[in-house]
Amino acid sequence: MNKKLLLLFVFLIAATGINAQQKKADKATEAFRYEIECAGIGTDGTYLIKVWSYSKNAKFAVTQAKKNAVHGIIFKGFSGGAQGCVSQKPLASSPNIEDEKADFFKSFFADGGDYMKYVSESSDGNIDAADRVKVGKEYKIGVIVSVSKDALRRYLEESGVVRGLSSGF
C-alpha cells in the first residue's frame, strides 16, 4: 500500500512540475519574443516560415513556435530574400488592433486556441543542431512551420478583427 501512495505522490509532483514549466513558457510567450523569416515558398495560400522562439526550456520553445508564427503573420509580417521569398506585410494594418481586440486575442492564442487551426509544424519534430542556440540562460530555437494565411485572413475578417481586402481604404 505504501508503494502505491509513494508512486502516486511522485507522479503528482512530476505532473505539477511539468505544468509549472508550461505556465512559465506561456508567460514568456505572452511577451511574444521571437524572430520570423521566410523559409521558402509554401503551397498556395500558405506561408512557409522559420520562427526563432526564446525559452529557458528548449522543449517549450518548439511548442510556442506555432503560436509565435501566427502572431508574426498577423502583427509583424516578414522580409523576403533567400529562397525566392517576397516580403509580406502583416495581416493587421492597425498597430493598435492587438490592444483594441485584447479579449479576442487572449482566447485566440490560449493553449489549444483557434490559432492552432491555421498552423502546422513542417519538420518531423526534430530540430537541427544549427537551429538550437544557447543564449545566456535560455534557448533560441528555430522551427519551420506552415501558416494557412488565406484561411487565417478569412477568419480574422469574419471576426471583425481585420478589414477585408475588398473593403477599400
pLDDT digits (tens, 9 = 90+) for 57-71: 877 877 798 999 999
Mean pLDDT to the nearest integer, 81-104: 88
Nearest-angstrom CA–CA distance, 123 and 6: 39
The 10s digit of each residue's pLDDT in 141-150 is 999 999 999 9
- List the grid coordinates of 58: 528548449
Phi-psi region of 49 (alpha: psi -120 to 50; beta: other; left: phi over 0): beta
Nearest-angstrom CA–CA distance, 152 and 96: 19
Q: Which residues pair with 119 in a beta bridge?
A: 147
Cell 478583427 belongs to residue: 161
Please check whether residue 111 is in contact with residue 62, taking contact to mean a CB–CB distance below 8 angstroms: no
pTM of the model: 0.78
Output 135 or 169, whichever has higher pLDDT: 135
The 10s digit of each residue's pLDDT in 114-163 is 999 999 987 766 778 888 888 888 889 999 999 999 999 999 999 999 88
